[in-house]
Amino acid sequence: MSRKIIYSQMVSLDGYIEGKDGDLSWSEPDEELFAFIQDMESDVDTHLYGRHTYEAMAGYWPHLEGNTAASARELAFGRDWVQLEKVVFSRTLTEVQWNTTLVRDEVQKAVKQLKNREGGDMLLGGAGLAASLMPLELIDEYQIYLFPIVLGGGKPFFPPLQHHLGLELIQTRSFAGGVVLLRYRTSREVSSHG
């Protein structure tokens, strides 16, 4: 049985993971949500990134030591992030660090190899990479942390699709502040409507 690829994001009510001008101010999880997500991702041992997300993560998490604003939980997460196995898919990046492998082409082949290897779940972080993997039917699970805010525009969680995509709901859960987790798995049958 192959490993699961999970696409998980904070998403606005109208489906964006970033507002216009890269606005992320609305999406900061509180302690409860942060703890829940860490628990949810406890079977994840690999992160998959496109360049944009990798650079954002690498620019923040390894550098928290000594940052007095960071909570204990964030510091722990930062340390875990550095240790986690990471794979970045990018034609333009030339080097990576923090326990990261760079894949420069043949994305589909590389992802299938990763799936067939022994290991835990893989977390897909980034809409750009999701847009590449969705049409290849390589994403197994979608975890949408839906925030009660309308952004009106920005970077969408879902890329444009060729066909309608039917999903199977596997879990819902609400959190303080009106956030709702909507968790879906890829349906066995592919819808032919479009």
Q: Does 24 bind another protein (CB under 8 A)?
A: no
Structure tokens at 179: 């956030």
Find how far residue 116's CA is from the centre of its chain. Answer: 20
Q: Report d(CA 96, CA 119) in Å as an integer.
A: 22
Q: Does 13 bind another protein (CB under 8 A)?
A: yes
- Choice from 2, 14, 31, 116 touching another protein (CB under 8 A): 14
The backbone torsions φ and ψ at residue 148, rounded to the nearest 5 degrees and listed phi first, read -80, 60
Q: Does 70 bind another protein (CB under 8 A)?
A: no
Q: Report d(CA 153, CA 17) in Å as an integer.
A: 10
- Choice from 24, 99, 164, 190 touching another protein (CB under 8 A): 164
Q: Does 129 bind another protein (CB under 8 A)?
A: no
Q: Does 36 bind another protein (CB under 8 A)?
A: no
Please, what sign has the CA dihedral across residues 117, 118, 121, 125? Answer: negative
Q: Does 22 bind another protein (CB under 8 A)?
A: no
Structure tokens at 158: 């879902």
- Which lies closer to another protein via its Cβ, residue 15 or residue 128? 15
* Residue whose entry in the numeric block shows the structure tokens 């009660």: 148
Binding site for another protein (CB under 8 A): 13-16, 144, 146, 148-153, 156-158, 160-169, 172-174, 178-180, 182, 184, 191, 193-194
